[in-house]
Chain A
């Protein structure tokens, strides 16, 4: 593991007695892209503000390159922060915004001009230098904000909901561009988002936060395949989560006895059944359910099933075989798509 650039040790921030950041430990290695994922109010923005020096810690510490940052004001930390709604300076044009950081660091006029041209090129707005920021579209503002944050060459770049306010297609395009850009520049990035798709597409490592604490940390694949607990699973969009007693290769759940993979943890556990693991069968086999809703999802149809005396289930069906609302179906479970959490 390369030496960590950013370290948080027991970082705690309280607002009026409530811990918004609760003894958070986190390390970000050089050149790593880490994405903090969590619902709104989980403390992820506060995490960024604490690292930036905009939010004093009530306990714990932040280190950069191993050096304690307590007492170092925001403007001397050498980190960049791209704000959620960009916060471009309205009275300056695009070039004035991008040149701001280098200017604060004492760059000469020529150096500033060069840097502005270089960065606007990088973000794909080579001719925008003299434009007013008010005249930019959302996507362009995002690019200018990125250029501005990158201009002083921060050792750590932080992004607060970088694509939050853009429409979906633009977001999907930009996330690929960002990933490619950070890879090329070798930038160390700490981003926060509430959008799992964004986090998985952007990050080397995903950190899921809940109520000011870190609920799980791992590669996107890890987190996706093995959510740490019911909260993470539900946050990732999995609804088929239930308490179960696991014994050997079977789990006793509200939906009946489910097969679980070899080597699953034993005892009282939380079980997650992926929608693809819910197989539809003729009504007289397996768990009997009624179809209560079906939602077209592009590649598949999400079918909502209501068993008798058990929590609802969601199943993913092929487009052609999806049942109609009101149909009675049977359900069988696929052990490969069932995860025993924790």
Chain B
């Protein structure tokens, strides 16, 4: 019983971090139709930028601000020089997927070349934990939960206050008609890429506080976020969080009862079954009803 509660607790915290990556990935995928595997490169870039700035200044405020700025500039350059021109050429999703893979390879190997392949640990982080009858909740987990909830709520508020959600839905449904109705689709795309990347950056920093970071760490979480994006198949933050926590719980249970190496296999078996038998995602019927 204690084990199950511990797994559930860990899954909620890790699921929240995954949901930050997945929200960014889903928004980018649904709005721009780019299957942005380079999101993994952006994730590790943010973590490395934070770690690097911390080694120089030992100041968390500067480090977080610098990493957010770094990923924003990086994704802006990628969108303007690669993704947007490909979209203008009406290239299909496979082309942008290939470009994204190439970008991921460049970013990850660039980081490995400059900083090395070994895991980087942040020294200036919190330690200690709270305990209640064998159930442990570390202080880092507490920070991850609070910051995760604040980041997600801020994102939801941003969508509500700026009415961006409507514009994003419009661009997602039909970019050409959105332009006719006066929506600056290029600007909306850029915003989606930058905000999605900032969310991934926050998740990466929070994860780095706990486990450190290495250049290869972004692919696994991005692929899991991609699984969430395919399962949910719509722009709904709460559903993404629920699916992220659920998937993380399955992964943690597999890791606990079987072996850590099976968890990706099981995750992608779920993806394969959904792709083969429910291509439009698990909640596709509701999606159609909502849009009717």
Chains A and B come from one and the same complex: no
Q: Which residues of A contact B (CB under 8 A)?
A: none
Give B residues with C-beta under 8 Å from A.
none
